[in-house]
């Protein structure tokens, strides 16, 4: 028996200058898709979701909002520009949205082993292996995405070395897993903003520091209502917002002080819950860099970056609040605003990374309200 035949019997396939193990993606509805693995050679489970962005996989894969999820990239070619170095700037990872990979697994149609980019120092497969995250290629991601759009996001598992049970991340307090454990201060100006870290992307902090305000980053369950500050920022994050009861109660207390409050993504949902409204789980969520959002009462439409699976029910808002933005595709809520006080939030990501910076002006509005 020759070497290639032996490798085939072991369940490995040749890819470039290395050998890949056979792998399969199993969905909770019984669907099985067979491909080959790259990245860490171990099995993993989570909620299977799709992202329609064409670029930005390093930023997306380190976004804490993806905690517990297996990410499906609808753009077919992934890995062609590699991965940049893990260097620090402003006290955090310069090219990533957190200090580690957050996804539970990656699914792509065609993984590119060869990469080229001025900032890249390694392949996507090498990075995944280092982080212990499995990935599968050779999957019909168009078929998979259509199935998730039709039936809704569902649990799944990437099987490589052994079979494992399904895991439902929505039953866990994912925010507690991704939030920092003790406060961190980033100095940049006299005004101070408290950032409630529910899984904050690094570029939220960068966006504030560039505007010359100091940022006190606190854990999700920290009693931040007892602190003295000029403004409150509620970050993005993973999972069901109703898990964050301590955060909601602290937001309620801060609202009595009438200092400016700005929420992003999960922060939109938490502010709505603190205001007495309700949230619900979307069928397949919004995960992309091309979501059109209309500012209510105007003809302005912004192209936004998004990553969320829950939404605010605007019908449950009190008469003191109004919708600020709505999604042009499905009319779901994309932001709320108090009618008389400086409390507001958006469901999309004005900090982008990845995605367009059309709504970066929202940070300027928030900083202006601190004066």
Q: What is the CA radius of gyration of the chain?
A: 21
Q: How far from 244 is each of 20, 43, 247, 348, CA to CA, in Å?
A: 41, 30, 5, 19
Of 47, 59, 334, 351, catalytic: 351
Of 286, 308, 338, 349, catalytic: 349
The yes-or-no answer on residue 28 being catalytic is: no
The yes-or-no answer on residue 265 being catalytic is: yes
Of 198, 244, 265, 293, catalytic: 265
Q: What is the dihedral of CA 38, 40, 41, 46, to 10 degrees?
A: -100
The yes-or-no answer on residue 349 being catalytic is: yes
Residues with a catalytic annotation lie at: 265, 349, 351
């Amino acid at each position: 028996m020759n070497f290639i035949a032996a490798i085939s019997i072991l369940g490995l396939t040749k890819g470039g200058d290395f050998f890949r193990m056979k792998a399969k993606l199993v969905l909770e509805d019984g669907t099985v898709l067979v491909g080959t693995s790259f990245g860490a050679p171990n099995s993993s489970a989570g909620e299977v979701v799709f992202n329609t962005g064409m670029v930005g996989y390093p930023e997306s894969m380190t976004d804490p909002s993806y905690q517990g999820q297996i990410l499906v990239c609808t753009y077919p070619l992934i890995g062609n520009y590699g991965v940049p170095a893990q260097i620090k700037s402003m006290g955090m990872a310069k090219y990533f949205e957190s200090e580690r990979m957050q996804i539970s697994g990656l699914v792509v149609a065609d993984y590119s082993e060869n990469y080229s980019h001025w900032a890249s120092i390694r392949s996507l497969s090498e990075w995944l292996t280092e982080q212990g995250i499995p990935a599968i290629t050779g999957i019909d991601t168009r078929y998979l995405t259509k199935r998730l759009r039709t039936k809704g996001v569902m649990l799944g598992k990437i099987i490589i070395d052994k079979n494992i049970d399904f895991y439902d991340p929505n039953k866990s307090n994912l925010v507690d897993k991704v939030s920092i454990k003790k406060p961190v201060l980033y100095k940049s100006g006299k005004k101070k903003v408290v950032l409630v870290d529910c899984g904050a992307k690094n570029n939220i902090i960068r966006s504030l520091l560039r505007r010359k305000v100091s940022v006190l980053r606190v854990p999700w369950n920290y009693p931040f209502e007892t602190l003295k500050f000029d403004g409150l920022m509620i970050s993005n994050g993973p999972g069901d917002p109703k898990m964050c009861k301590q955060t909601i109660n602290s937001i309620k207390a801060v609202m009595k002080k009438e200092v400016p409050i700005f929420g992003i993504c999960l922060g939109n949902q938490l502010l709505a819950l603190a205001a007495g409204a309700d949230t619900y789980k979307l069928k397949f969520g919004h995960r992309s860099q091309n979501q059109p959002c209309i500012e209510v009462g105007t003809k302005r439409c912004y192209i936004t970056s998004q990553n969320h699976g829950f939404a605010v029910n605007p019908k449950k808002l009190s008469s003191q609040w109004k919708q600020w933005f709505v999604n042009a595709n499905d009319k779901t809520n994309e932001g709320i605003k108090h009618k008389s006080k400086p409390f507001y939030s958006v469901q999309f990501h004005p900090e982008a990374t990845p995605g367009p910076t059309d709504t970066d002006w929202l940070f300027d509005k928030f900083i202006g309200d601190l004066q």
